Amino acid sequence: MKKQSNIVKNSELLKNLSITERYELLQLCHRRTYKSGEYVYYRNDPGSGLYFIEEGKIQLQVEEEAINQNSEDGKNEPYSITVESPQEIGLVSIGYETKRLSSAQCLTECTLLGFFTPDFETLKKRNPQTAVKFLEASSNRIMKQLDLSMQKIIEISDTKTAFQIQFETQYLHSVESDKTID
């Protein structure tokens, strides 16, 4: 409970929720333990939820072949980021079905709190206000990540390419929505 309280007090994602709302959300989480070297998930797995890191360090990694398939020098360098408590991984998968972009491997023994799509559905039924605040916080974080991604695309390519990617993504989403209506 002490480690969980670290997430409750220090989670940047949950900062707009009251302490009571944070505990309510975390009570729906599922505690999972992993040994050093174990994978939480693999690249291209379906995203089914997010994990709050209660204890330990996790390396998010993109395999060499996924980084730059068109490398001019033929060399692909792996890329990784290390995250630890009170951070979370897999945020994009709450409320949106997506494939994992990276693999998540435990660098140490880890204790994670999994918050999955069915848990979010339960939160929406039990306390819609808390669910809305959580979704707002998630959306704000994801929009910041999207903005940084678009800026990086502009930096390495150009504004036209970034615009096309953004527009095509919106267009594809609306076409998929139209198909479900038919």
* 118-142 confidence digits (pLDDT tens): 999 999 999 999 999 999 999 999 8
Percent of the chain as helix, strand, coil, to the nearest 5? 50, 25, 30
Only one residue has tokens 């390495």, namely 156
The H or E element spanning position 33 is strand 30-34
d(CA 57, CA 168): 36
Instruction: Fill in the amino acid letter for 145.
Output: Q
Domains by residue range for the chain, with CATH: 2-181 (2.60.120.10)
- Which of the four pLDDT bands, split at 50, 70 and 90, describes residue 181? very low
56 phi and psi, to 5 degrees? Answer: 110, 180
- In this predicted structure, what is the pLDDT of residue 180? 46
SS3 of residue 59 by DSSP: strand
156 phi and psi, to 5 degrees? Answer: -95, -15
Contacts of 140 (CB under 8 A, 6+ apart): none
**Is the model more confident about 86 or about 65?**
86
In order of 11, 17, 75, 130, 177, the CA distances from 26 in angstroms are 11, 12, 43, 12, 32
User: With contact defined as beta carbons under 8 Å apart, do 59 and 48 qualify?
Assistant: no
pLDDT over threshold 80, residue 65: no
- Which of the four pLDDT bands, split at 50, 70 and 90, describes residue 76? low
Residues of the chain above pLDDT 90, percent: 55
- Which of the four pLDDT bands, split at 50, 70 and 90, describes residue 109? very high
